[in-house]
């Protein structure tokens, strides 16, 4: 979907957004984090969280074997546990992942656009994207140009996202804001709206490659942004926190935030994802605990 | 929405079947044998019985406090007094969960609040004031400020343990001894605190606790105390101020309020909505400084209201001991009927009432969070303290009008301001006639921060260096 | 040359309300004598309506007065001291007449009064930092407390110390941004009424200090019960029964009351007519600091 706005219009809309009070936002996030999700609700939340995972491997050392192993885990994590939403890999691994996941319903997501820094020429970023799509990626996780954003060149960021959106074709586009580098909540809110105006299907917090990745307050802020964007434009956008969400307790806090900020409309992997790798095994161990009443251990879930 | 399964708090405090009055370090029954019941407002079941103090008991307690002041507590060094208070603070922290659960059962407020706010803040008050006990000469109140003697204290039911801490901690730190009357519907944590004083080895008579109702309170005001400290309604505060007129008794009063929470068009909207919700629905709105009047700039009123309603829809009303409960029970049948009566006048006067769809438990005292829109300054719901989860929404056009409407009340306890513009905050804070101004936040409390009101919200401060004035002969 | 000694022009002692010198609206006056019985003058006998007008004038002046910079309030109080110094001789004479004191002793008292004005002139831009301050709260908030004026303070001035005592009573109130309605010594009102002339010529805005002469038992109850008065100083109420009644009347609107017989230093007096206001604001910015989730 292309934006009907010009870059200048989008930039001025974004600059006029109301501010964010950091302490108030963090207090609200902390309040949501005190929700106690137990027994049957917890069982539901765990399966929901599993189904929302973009099971991710983004390492220089990734090999086809590693990706196939991960794909198998994504499809059938443990017993009757649901599949994850997607497997997320580098473009060079898309074909392997696609092959491994054919017919399973688990999507292939590919980071692109010179991930994670994005500090390569735009034509290279677009070529990267097109290659991933050609190789069969269902979803593209792009990074925004933080340098341009921090330099105040919002129009450039807007046009680049539009260009990547066009290059992505039918693949759903997740726009990574790299919130840890944007540094302020005001900037996160602006970047969220800029990305949505430019055609993002998802807004995503982080690459997982910098010091500060997803936090609950930042993700809550992005949830408020997609809520308000839909109210303003009628267009629904998904949210994906990524990096640093390692255990069940944390994942449930995010689900509570979705539940109380966005409600049912976002409570599926169509509209909410976790970008994570180690989270899955913790969810599986907690799942076993709920079933058996005994605490599980790392030797009772697979290392992939 | 995914529903949260019940998440009941599992700790159960040891609540006795019967409590006596705490006089001179011992639990004793009333001279005339009077007793009353304390009821759990979320179930309407009696929790325990307790002795009701009469005039004779008040005299006994004041005498015990006098003796303790003259023989032990007065002569004791500040450093030693401080150590007792530190010890009390630590014991409160150790027993925090039991106190929190007991408070929720006796008062009806959610465990989330007693656990995360009431009890820890009460402990902080003791910890903070403990440190003052040997440093009073640095408080800017003279080189060697002296205690007043025996202090009579009467506290309300909305924050039973916290109000006790606000009263007892500074009084003891300054070298006074106390006779405290908890509210008749919520004596439990005060009695548990009396047990804690015994455990702390606090000398007998330094703290005396006299459960009872209005008659006990007025007997205490009229007794041979040197000072009266009261938190509660403006009507009772006025009666106390009259009762002590012409005497040597020093008085501090923390009374009612009808705070305005002003939202300007350049506010951080999501946080403002949180602040409005916290401002009026915290503790079921049983808060003297509650932001019970939302003054929102007309240009953003629709947007703010829409977000506010969506947020209120997510509030969970019910079992106070469920960790996910946001709004607990109304403290008493009497308070519930008062809230009902006032909200009926709101509808009668033409304001539009809105409540979220939420189920209420069958037994107990409950009131849905309520938002009145189309409220005019002249309506009773814009003027009178409702002391319940009821918000009156008014609009304004200009900053001057906002301040004028905010100040247009005999009260002056607190106010809120929401705007991203620093100079506007300072401008508004200077003009608001209130003892506490929360800018881009609301309902924040701290032992180091003085709290108290102007005009008919009373006089004197609690907390901070300035709060010491209330308990020293200055 | 005339055979007659020149007829001295006697002063009409009027009230000082809202920067003007009205007679009592009631049209009444009462004779004022020195302790030895010498008739000195007729002073206006203020009525409850004069009290009402004075409160209205004080209320009107309060917000602008409190809104002046502390530096300017200090300069104006110092200017009042300058004006009084220039007329010290006249005041010494009036004071001696009023109290029967030895003229040299009376001059000493006038000088003390001048020095007190100077003292409070210097307080205007200091008491805020002395009484207030920043509070280290246990959360991400900037929190500070400042003393602010109560509003309108009604003062029943001391009966036997008609100039120094009166200045000592109202100076701390106006130094902190309050405005005052002062009921002068009932039997010795003349120095106070002359002080109005000093204040009127010292850049003090009209209404900041309002001076009434009259009966305590007639006027004070209306000040004590007036809903638009915020503070009440009963320092000059000699009758304990009346003081208790006035305190009880003041309780109706929860006024701050200073009981008779209370001593206190300057800081105590400055604190008496202020209320603390505490302002909170969140302190935080970075998204990266959002806790460990």
3.10.20.30, 3.40.605.10, 2.40.50.1020, 3.60.10.10: CATH of C41-280: 3.40.605.10
Residue range B426-451: average pLDDT?
A: 97
The confidence score (pLDDT) of residue A187 equals 96
Average of per-residue pLDDT values in chain B: 97
Residue C118: CB atoms within 10 A of its CB come to 18
Residue A74 lies in a domain: yes
Residue B200 lies in a domain: yes
Tell me which H or E stretch contains C242: helix C240-251
A24–B323: do the CB atoms touch at under 8 Å?
Answer: no
- CA distance linking residue B209 with residue B195, whole number of Å: 10
B422 touches chain A (CB under 8 A): no
Q: How sure is the predictor about C287, in pLDDT bands with cuts at 50, 70 and 90?
A: low
Both tokens of A160, joined, read 């680049």
pLDDT at C289 over 60: no
Residues 302-331 of B with CB under 8 A from A: 314, 323-324
Residue B5 lies in a domain: no
Q: Which residues of C touch B254 (CB under 8 A)?
A: none
Per-residue pLDDT tens over the stretch A172-190: 999 999 999 998 999 999 9
- Show Cβ contacts of residue A178 under 8 Å, excluding neighbours closer than 6 positions: A116, A143, A144, A146, A205, A206, A207, A210
B271–A224: do the CB atoms touch at under 8 Å?
Answer: no
B268–A18: do the CB atoms touch at under 8 Å?
Answer: yes
Task: Look at residues B410, B253, B221, B384 and name the one whose alpha carbon lies nearest to residue C253.
Answer: B410
CA distance A210 to chain B (A): 28
CATH code, domain with A86: 3.20.20.70
Per-residue pLDDT tens over the stretch A229-277: 999 999 999 999 999 999 999 999 999 999 999 999 999 999 999 999 9
Assess whether B118 and B233 both reside in one domain: yes
Assess whether B371 and B465 both reside in one domain: no
User: B134-141 contacts: CB < 8 A, separation 24 or more?
Assistant: B134/B77, B134/B78, B134/B79, B134/B81, B134/B82, B135/B78, B136/B78, B136/B173, B136/B174, B136/B175, B136/B468, B136/B472, B139/B465, B139/B468, B139/B472, B140/B465, B140/C130, B140/C131, B140/C267, B141/B468, B141/B469, B141/B472, B141/B474
CA distance B397 to chain A (A): 19
pLDDT at B366 over 60: yes
Q: What phi and psi values does residue C28 have, to the nearest 5 degrees?
A: -95, 155
CATH code, domain with B132: 3.40.605.10
pLDDT at B1 over 80: no
B274–A24: do the CB atoms touch at under 8 Å?
Answer: yes
The confidence score (pLDDT) of residue C292 equals 36
Length of chain B, in residues: 474
Assess whether B108 and B241 both reside in one domain: yes
Three-state secondary structure call for residue A253: helix
Assess whether B109 and B55 both reside in one domain: yes
What percent of chain C is predicted at pLDDT more than 70? 97
Mutate to test the interface with A, among C287, C289, C292 (most CBs of A within 10 A): C287
Domain that residue B148 falls in: 18-255+454-471
Domain that residue A240 falls in: 7-290
The confidence score (pLDDT) of residue C1 equals 52
Residue range B361-384: average pLDDT?
A: 96
Residue A300 lies in a domain: no
Q: Which residues of A touch B314 (CB under 8 A)?
A: 260
Q: How sure is the predictor about C286, in pLDDT bands with cuts at 50, 70 and 90?
A: low
Catalytically annotated residues of A: 141, 204, 240
Q: How sure is the predictor about C285, in pLDDT bands with cuts at 50, 70 and 90?
A: confident
Strands (E), C187-243: 209-212, 231-233
Mutate to test the interface with A, among B261, B268, B314, B326 (most CBs of A within 10 A): B268
Assess whether B97 and B235 both reside in one domain: yes
Assess whether B26 and B137 both reside in one domain: yes
- CA distance linking residue B337 with residue C115, whole number of Å: 60
Assess whether B94 and B237 both reside in one domain: yes
Residue B8 lies in a domain: no
What percent of chain B is predicted at pLDDT more than 90? 99
Mutate to test the interface with B, among A20, A33, A34, A36 (most CBs of B within 10 A): A36
A212–C284: do the CB atoms touch at under 8 Å?
Answer: no
CATH code, domain with B325: 3.40.309.10
Q: Collect all residues from B whose CB is shorter than 8 A from any CB in C.
A: 124, 140, 234, 237-238, 241-242, 245-246, 253, 255, 410, 425, 429, 434-441, 444, 446-452, 454-459, 461, 464-466, 469, 474
- Strand B436-439 and strand C274-282: the pairing is parallel
Assess whether B174 and B203 both reside in one domain: yes
Query: How many domains does the structure of chain A reveal?
Result: 1
Q: What angle do CA B129, B132, B138 make, to 5 degrees?
A: 145
Residue ranges per structural domain of chain C: 41-280
CA distance A94 to chain C (A): 30
Query: How many domains does the structure of chain B reveal?
Result: 2
Q: Which residues of B touch A45 (CB under 8 A)?
A: 2
Assess whether B106 and B206 both reside in one domain: yes
- CA distance linking residue B207 with residue A78, whole number of Å: 61
Q: Count of CB contacts below 8 A, A vs C?
A: 59
Go through B308-330 and write b for each residue having 16 or more CB atoms within 10 A of its CB, e for each that does not: bebbbebbbbbbbbbbbbbbbbb
Residue range A122-144: average pLDDT?
A: 97
What percent of chain C is predicted at pLDDT more than 90? 92
The catalytically annotated residue of B254, B385, B456, B462 is B254
pLDDT at A20 over 90: yes
Q: Which residues of B touch C248 (CB under 8 A)?
A: 241-242, 245-246
Three-state secondary structure call for residue C228: coil
Residue range C201-210: average pLDDT?
A: 97
- CA distance linking residue B203 with residue C15, whole number of Å: 59
What percent of chain B is predicted at pLDDT more than 70? 100
Residue A79 lies in a domain: yes
C145–B466: do the CB atoms touch at under 8 Å?
Answer: yes
Assess whether B244 and B332 both reside in one domain: no
Neighbors of chain C by Cβ distance (3+ pairs < 8 Å):
A, B
pLDDT at C288 over 70: no
- CA distance linking residue B311 with residue B281, whole number of Å: 11
């Amino acid at each position: 979907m292309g934006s009907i706005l010009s870059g200048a219009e989008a930039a001025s809309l974004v600059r006029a957004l109301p501010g964010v009070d950091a302490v108030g936002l963090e207090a609200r996030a902390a309040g949501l984090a005190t929700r106690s999700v137990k027994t049957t609700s917890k069982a539901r939340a765990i399966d929901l969280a599993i189904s929302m995972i973009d099971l991710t491997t983004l390492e220089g050392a990734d090999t086809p074997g590693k990706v196939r192993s991960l794909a198998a885990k994504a499809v059938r994590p443990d017993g009757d546990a649901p599949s994850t939403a997607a497997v997320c890999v580098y473009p060079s691994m898309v074909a392997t992942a696609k092959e491994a996941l054919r017919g399973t319903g688990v999507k292939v997501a590919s980071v692109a656009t010179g991930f994670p820094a994005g500090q390569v020429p735009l034509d290279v970023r677009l070529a990267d994207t097109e290659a991933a799509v050609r190789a069969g990626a269902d979803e593209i996780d792009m990074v925004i140009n933080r340098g341009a954003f921090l330099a105040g060149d919002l129009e450039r960021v807007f046009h680049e996202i539009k260009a990547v959106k066009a290059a992505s074709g039918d693949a759903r586009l997740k726009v990574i804001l790299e919130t840890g580098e944007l540094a302020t909540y005001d900037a996160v809110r602006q970047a969220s709206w800029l990305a949505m105006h430019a055609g993002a299907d998802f807004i995503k917090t982080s690459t997982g490659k910098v010091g500060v990745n997803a936090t609950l307050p930042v993700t809550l802020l992005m949830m408020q942004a997609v809520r308000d964007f839909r109210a303003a434009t009628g267009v629904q956008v998904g949210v994906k926190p990524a990096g640093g969400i390692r255990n069940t307790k944390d994942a449930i806090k995010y689900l509570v935030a979705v539940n109380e900020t966005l409600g049912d409309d976002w409570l599926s992997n169509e509209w909410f994802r976790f970008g994570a790798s180690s989270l899955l095994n913790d969810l599986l161990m907690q799942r076993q605990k709920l079933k058996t009443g005994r605490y599980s251990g790392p030797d009772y879930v697979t290392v992939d | 929405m995914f529903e949260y399964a019940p998440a009941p708090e599992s700790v159960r405090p040891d609540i006795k079947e019967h409590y006596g009055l705490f006089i001179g370090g011992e639990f004793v029954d009333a001279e005339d044998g009077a007793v009353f019941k304390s009821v759990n407002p979320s179930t309407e079941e009696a929790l325990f019985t307790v002795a009701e103090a009469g005039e004779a008991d008040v005299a006994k307690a004041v005498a015990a406090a006098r003796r303790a002041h003259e023989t032990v507590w007065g002569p004791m060094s500040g450093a030693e007094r401080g150590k007792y208070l530190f010890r009390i603070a630590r014991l409160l922290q150790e027993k925090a969960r039991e106190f929190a659960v007991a408070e929720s059962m006796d008062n009806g407020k959610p465990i989330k609040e007693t656990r995360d706010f009431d009890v820890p803040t009460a402990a902080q008050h003791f910890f903070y004031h403990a440190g003052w006990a040997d440093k009073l000469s640095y408080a800017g109140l003279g080189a060697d400020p002296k205690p007043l003697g025996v202090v009579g204290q009467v506290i309300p039911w909305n924050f039973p343990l916290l109000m006790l801490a606000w009263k007892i901690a500074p009084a003891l730190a300054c070298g006074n001894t106390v006779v405290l009357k908890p509210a008749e519907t919520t004596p439990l944590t005060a009695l548990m605190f009396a047990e804690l004083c015994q455990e702390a080895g606090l000398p007998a008579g330094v703290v005396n606790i006299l459960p009872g109702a209005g008659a006990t309170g007025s007997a205490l005001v009229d007794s041979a105390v040197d000072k009266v400290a009261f938190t509660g309604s403006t009507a009772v505060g006025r009666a106390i101020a009259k009762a002590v007129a012409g005497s040597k008794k020093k008085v501090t009063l923390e009374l009612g309020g009808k705070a305005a929470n002003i939202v300007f068009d350049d506010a951080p909207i999501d946080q403002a909505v949180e602040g409005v919700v916290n401002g009026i629905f915290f503790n079921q709105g049983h808060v003297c400084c509650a932001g019970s009047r939302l003054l929102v700039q007309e240009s953003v009123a629709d947007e703010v209201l829409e977000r506010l309603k969506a947020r209120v829809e997510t509030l969970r009303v019910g079992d106070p001991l469920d960790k996910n409960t946001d709004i607990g029970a109304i403290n008493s049948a009497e308070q519930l009927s008062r809230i009902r009566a006032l909200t009926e006048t709101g509808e009668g006067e033409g304001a539009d009432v809105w409540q979220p769809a939420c189920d209420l438990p069958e037994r107990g005292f409950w009131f849905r969070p309520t938002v009145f829109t189309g409220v005019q300054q002249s309506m009773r719901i814009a003027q009178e303290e409702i002391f319940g989860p009821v918000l009156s929404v008014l609009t304004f056009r200009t900053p001057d009008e906002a301040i004028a409407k905010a100040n247009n009340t005999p009260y002056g306890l607190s106010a809120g301001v929401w705007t991203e513009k620093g100079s506007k905050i300072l401008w508004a804070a200077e003009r608001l006639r209130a003892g506490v101004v929360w800018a881009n936040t609301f309902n924040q409390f701290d032992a180091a921060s003085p709290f108290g009101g102007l005009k008919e919200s009373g006089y004197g401060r609690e907390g901070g260096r300035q709060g010491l004035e209330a308990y020293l002969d200055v | 040359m005339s055979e007659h000694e020149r007829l001295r022009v006697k002063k009409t002692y009027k009230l000082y309300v809202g920067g003007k010198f009205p007679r009592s609206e009631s049209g009444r006056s009462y004779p004022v004598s020195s302790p030895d019985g010498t008739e000195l003058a007729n002073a206006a006998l203020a009525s409850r309506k004069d009290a009402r007008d004075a409160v209205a004038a004080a209320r009107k002046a309060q917000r602008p007065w409190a809104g002046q910079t502390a530096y300017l309030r200090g300069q104006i109080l110092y200017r009042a001291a300058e004006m009084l110094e220039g007329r010290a001789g006249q005041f010494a004479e009036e004071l001696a007449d009023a109290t029967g004191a030895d003229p040299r002793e009376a001059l000493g008292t006038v000088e003390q009064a001048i020095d007190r004005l100077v003292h409070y002139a210097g307080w205007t831009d200091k008491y805020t930092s002395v009484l207030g301050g920043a509070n280290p709260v246990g959360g991400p908030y900037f929190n500070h407390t400042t003393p602010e004026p109560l509003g309108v303070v009604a003062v029943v001035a001391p009966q036997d110390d008609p100039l120094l005592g009166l200045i000592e009573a109202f100076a701390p109130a106006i130094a902190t941004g309050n405005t005052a309605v002062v009921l002068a010594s009932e039997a010795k009102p003349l120095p106070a009424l002359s002080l109005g002339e000093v204040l009127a010529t010292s850049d003090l805005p009209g209404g900041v200090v309002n001076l009434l002469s009259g009966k305590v038992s007639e006027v004070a109850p209306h000040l004590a019960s007036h809903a638009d008065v915020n503070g009440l100083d009963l320092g000059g109420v000699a009758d304990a029964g009346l003081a208790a009644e006035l305190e009880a009347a003041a309780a109706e609107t929860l006024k701050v009351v200073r009981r008779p017989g209370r001593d206190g230093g300057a800081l105590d007096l400055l604190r008496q007519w202020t209320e603390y206001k505490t302002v909170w604001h969140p302190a935080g910015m970075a998204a990266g600091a959002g806790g460990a989730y």
